[in-house]
Structure 1
């Protein structure tokens, strides 16, 4: 069966829900320590009436009725088990601006580049590539993300200062199979039952 990429932000969030193993390569164009490495990204979908969605809308003076929902993101070093804490977390809220819901604005309680509330613009290309553009106070960021399959996706991003590109990042992300899912697969295999498609 042919893979169909998500074409709206809420579908993108739903397909992203779960834990992802991220391999990250970072290219800095100035004298900054290498930030390449491996980490986990945990994504949880938030429905429109979730208090976190309402908080982000109210903080940016946006009518919450315009929001379709959002997602809560946390990240941690690979194999880390402690709670990542608020400095490694963000909430994104989807505000589509056209009937197709393929473009719109993303509200975020704190930015990736600058730790301030931000509003980004997003759009899905016909092939499913998602582009997010963010204007910060001193920087501009652009991120592109696309699914290769249900369980593998790519993210690339750039950060631009007034003098030009400051850094570029490439991430490949694989969905993690959690222990409960592994146990369910093992039980089905032992019973001779085919895994659901």
Structure 2
């Protein structure tokens, strides 16, 4: 799998249930949100802007994705802190590895460059070095409609938190209609 394959498979809206375990004085937390993923082609102005922000030649990008998180899909509050654009820069000799440019990081709100690789079984691992932290996220599809993400954030003193998210794809009305039509077909 390549990053653009992964992003295209991720496109859409996901219902995410998350648990975060802190290894310091902060209380553990859990919650639900909606993750919205939109694939961006390489000529999208947002891809170009992230490349420019990171001083990277835009022609080396294959595309990317825009992400946003909402507590509720009816909530129209699109805060910048709950959104990000990432850009795929695959390695020339191995398209299963590469760099991700991101206009702002998840752990620290700053532009960041991560390294990624796909294992033989399709599990994606993303490693990110921030100014004061290190982050690692692993993500994989159980089915086309269900995926899992696990993340760790480490400070110099050790692991600070671990997160687990299970994500279910939200079906569009068109997809539901297609499923209904398929179910009504004679076997």
| TM norm structure 2 | 0.93
- Alpha-carbon offset, residue 31 of structure 1: 2.1
1:156 paired residue number: 150
Note the residue ranges of structure 1 that are not aligned, 5 or more in a row: 1-6
1:45 is aligned to 2:42: no
Separation in 1, partners of 2:66, 2:117: 20
Question: In angstroms, what is the RMSD of aligned CA positions?
Answer: 1.7
Partner of residue 176, structure 1 = 170
C-alpha deviation, 1:30, in angstroms: 1.5
**1:45 counterpart SS class:** strand
Cα distance, 1:83 vs structure 2: 3.4
Q: What CA distance in whole angstroms lies between the structure 2 residues aligned with 1:88 and 1:98?
A: 32
Q: Where do 1:135-150 residues align within 5 Å?
A: 135-150=129-144
- What is the TM-score when the length of structure 1 is the normalising length? 0.89
Check if 1:82 corresponds to 2:76. yes
Query: Once the two structures are superposed, what CA deviation does each residue of 1:4-41 show, in whole Å capped at 9, x if it has no partner?
Result: xxx10000000000000101010011222443111100
* Counterparts of 2:40 and 2:73, CA distance in 1: 25
Structure 2 distance, partners of 1:166, 1:124, is 25
Structure 2 distance, partners of 1:130, 1:50, is 24
Aligned to 2:60: 66
CA distance in 2, matches of 1:108, 1:124: 18
**Cα gap change, 1:77/1:34 in structure 2, threshold over 3 Å: closer, same or farther?**
farther
Instruction: Verify the 8 A CA contact 1:22 1:38 in the aligned structure 2.
Output: yes
Post-superposition shift, 1:104?
Answer: 0.4
